[in-house]
Amino acid sequence: MPRTARDVVFVDGVRTPFGKAGPKGLYAQTRADDMVVRAIRELMRRNPSLPPERVDEVAVAATTQTGDQGLTIGRSAAVLAGLPKSVPGFAVDRMCAGAMTAVTTTGAGISFGSYDVAIAGGVEHMGRHPMGEGVDPNPRFLADKLVDPSALVMGSTAENLHDRFPGITKERADAYAVRSQRKVAEAYAAGRIQPDLVPTAVRSAEQGWGLATEDEPPRPGTTMESLAALKTPFRVHGNVTAGNAAGLNDGATACLLAAEDVARELGLAPRMRLVDFAFAGVEPEVMGVGPVPATEKLLARNALTMDDIGLIEINEAFAVQVLAFLEHFKIADDDARVNPWGGAIALGHPLASSGVRLMNQLSRLFEERTDVRFGLTTMCVGMGMGGTVLWENANWEGAK
């Protein structure tokens, strides 16, 4: 029988604090699957009116699907989290946009009527599973000159983007990074980041058991002078440094999606409504420009312009990637709509988990900014892609 599309809403989202990858990082002795299980359990705890058996699907993304990030992690995390065995799950991989794709895929299923309620998220333990671990790129990529060799090194693709946008200097990228660090520090001081952080058990050989309650990567004392002294590892006399790029991080995210009528039935308060989404491909050697065509496609399909967008959460894989997006759409580097509480340069970017972090922050901003109707979450993706999701504020005052 013909089906009518249903409105899909973002009800709630949580994440573990993000840690630095490596033997001294927060999660050096924590399993990746336990991190995402912690997030799923917190979602259920915070939404007691949702019967666990009403969850129809669990989609969890990981870029490196091996070890404790393997075994069809959506299903294994659902079982470990204590959801009924009747609740299925699956794994997703679209590199950095993994959690974003988990949301758009399950959201589309809800809209179609195949699901009523879904949990979507992502996890990346880059300390246990470095980016590219176990990857065996087909030699034809280079032999047939399908991509430039730099396409396989994310930092090199960022240097390529500087070449394509010569007006984006290292100083401009550093200035953006300093602002991101400052905005995160201000958001923390105002208590804006903490509500969606799940305290997570951690263990180290030196200190034994402890509790992670805040993000490890932020460097609130960052200055232009300190960034100017950093090395440019991807190119001699280049532009990309550890200071104007996201780091290597560990972390997990999860969010609760539902059909709007089902959310109301279950007493779940929507924060925002999923309007549409788009993914687009670009040349892999300049993968950072991916958000541009994805956003253009999305805006055109919905008869909107950037003037209609009141908030933009863009993943800060590299400062140059954000600045290229802003330059293309003629948005000022310090536009108040863009990452008002800072972004991944300060908070960290555990690859496949980051898409839901963007959504968490946008949904919280919507709660404060009832004057804003539309917002975007957007990000670049390795191997030359971009993804953008259009959201409508469920508490928009213009709807009243």
Alpha carbons 35 and 200: distance in angstroms, whole number: 8
For tokens 């991807």, the residue is 234
240 within 8 A of 368, measured Cβ to Cβ: no
The token pair at 224 is 């232009």
- Beta pairing, strands 117-125 & 249-259: antiparallel
66 within 8 A of 123, measured Cβ to Cβ: no
Grouping H, G, I as helix, E, B as strand and the rest as coil, residue 32 is: helix
Alpha carbons 293 and 279: distance in angstroms, whole number: 8
| DSSP codes of every residue in 48-68 | TTS-GGG--EEEEE-SS-SGG
Per-residue CA distances from 123 to 58, 67, 82, 185 (Å): 13, 13, 18, 24
Nearest Cα to 322, choosing from 246, 375, 391, 373? Answer: 246
Q: Which of 96, 125, 129, 255 is catalytic?
A: 96
Q: Which of 125, 129, 162, 349 is catalytic?
A: 349
Strands (E), the chain: 8-15, 19-20, 57-61, 89-92, 117-125, 200-204, 208-212, 249-259, 272-281, 309-314, 374-381, 385-393
Active site residue 129: no
Active site residue 380: yes
98-112 helix and 354-368 helix, angle to the nearest 10 degrees: 70
41 phi and psi angles, rounded to 5 deg:
-60, -40
Catalytic residues: 96, 349, 380
